[in-house]
């Protein structure tokens, strides 16, 4: 249990250093068997101690931890309930992804090979009130098939088979989104030829 909490805390420090989460934004969790380890509410993630990590059962009941679980715990719980292959959830607010979420604009391209191969498209879920079950209403149909989703007027969320996979995916999504914006400022992105584009869309990440 201590090893899991340490991984969660070290990951939070990394995400804060990257500017993806801050004192009030973002939450991270890991599911191990029938337990969910999740960051607490209203605490700077880089200062967390093992005792601060909230531990929930699969129904969302807190069974350990000196602090209350994140207000977005429902988003995590329902993600784990939706797909058995998910063992980590990261909800963050990286600048470029969040800008797309605020504008309700999906991240997609026909000119960036890596973006297409990894994500195909990062879709936007309909707005749902933070901290309620409604935030998951728009997420569920996207998360059923995708590992990254933009939360309308809110931020971004990624899932993975483990925490490192989820973090890697978040970083790739943010970097790709930033590159696409800069490319649009540099000039007109050059589309990839149709046959190659079709191939990239079949790649499984």
Instruction: Give residues with Cβ within 8 angstroms of 123, minimum separation 6.
Output: 106, 142, 146, 149, 150
**Which residue would you say has higher pLDDT here, 194 or 23?**
194
Minimal CA–CA distance to 149: which of 131, 162, 161, 136? Answer: 136
Distance, in Å, from the CA atom of 130 to the CA atom of 48, rounded to the nearest integer, reads 23
pLDDT higher than threshold 90 for residue 77: yes
Give 163-169's long-range contacts (Cβ < 8 A, gap of 24+): 163/7, 163/8, 163/11, 163/28, 163/30, 163/87, 163/88, 163/90, 164/11, 165/88, 166/88, 166/89, 166/90, 167/11, 167/14, 167/15, 167/90, 169/118
pLDDT tens figures, 35-68:
999 999 988 888 999 999 999 999 999 999 889 9
Minimal CA–CA distance to 193: which of 116, 105, 107, 106? Answer: 116
Minimal CA–CA distance to 100: which of 157, 49, 143? Answer: 157
Task: Indicate the pLDDT class of residue 204, thresholds 50, 70 and 90.
Answer: confident
Q: Quick one: what percent of the chain has pLDDT higher than 70?
A: 100
Distance, in Å, from the CA atom of 195 to the CA atom of 164, rounded to the nearest integer, reads 33
Distance, in Å, from the CA atom of 68 to the CA atom of 186, rounded to the nearest integer, reads 46
pLDDT tens figures, 160-174:
999 999 999 999 999
Distance, in Å, from the CA atom of 52 to the CA atom of 84, rounded to the nearest integer, reads 26
pLDDT tens figures, 116-167:
999 999 999 999 998 888 999 999 999 999 999 999 999 999 999 999 999 9
How much is the mean pLDDT over the chain?
95
Minimal CA–CA distance to 143: which of 118, 166, 125, 170? Answer: 125
pLDDT higher than threshold 90 for residue 1: no
- What per-residue confidence (pLDDT) applies to 173? 98
pTM: 0.95
In 19-162, which residue ranges form alpha helices assigned H by DSSP?
Answer: 73-82, 95-103, 113-119, 134-143
């Amino acid at each position: 249990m201590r090893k899991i909490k340490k991984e969660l805390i070290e990951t939070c420090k990394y995400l804060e250093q990257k500017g993806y989460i801050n004192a009030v934004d973002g939450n991270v969790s890991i599911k191990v068997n029938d337990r969910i380890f999740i960051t607490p509410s209203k605490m700077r993630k880089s200062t967390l101690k093992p005792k601060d990590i909230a531990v929930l059962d699969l129904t969302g009941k807190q069974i350990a931890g000196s602090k209350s679980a994140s207000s977005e715990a429902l988003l995590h719980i329902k993600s784990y309930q939706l797909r058995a292959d998910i063992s980590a959830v990261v909800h963050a607010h990286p600048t470029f992804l969040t800008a797309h979420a605020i504008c309700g604009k999906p991240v997609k391209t026909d000119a960036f090979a890596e973006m297409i191969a990894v994500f195909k498209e990062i879709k936007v879920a309909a707005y749902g009130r933070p901290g309620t079950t409604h935030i998951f209403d728009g997420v569920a149909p996207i998360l059923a098939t995708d590992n990254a989703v933009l939360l309308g007027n809110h931020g971004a969320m990624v899932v993975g088979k483990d925490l490192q996979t989820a973090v890697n995916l978040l970083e790739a999504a943010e970097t790709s989104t930033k590159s696409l914006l800069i490319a649009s400022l540099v000039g007109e992105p050059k589309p990839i030829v149709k046959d190659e584009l079709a191939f990239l869309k079949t790649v499984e990440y």
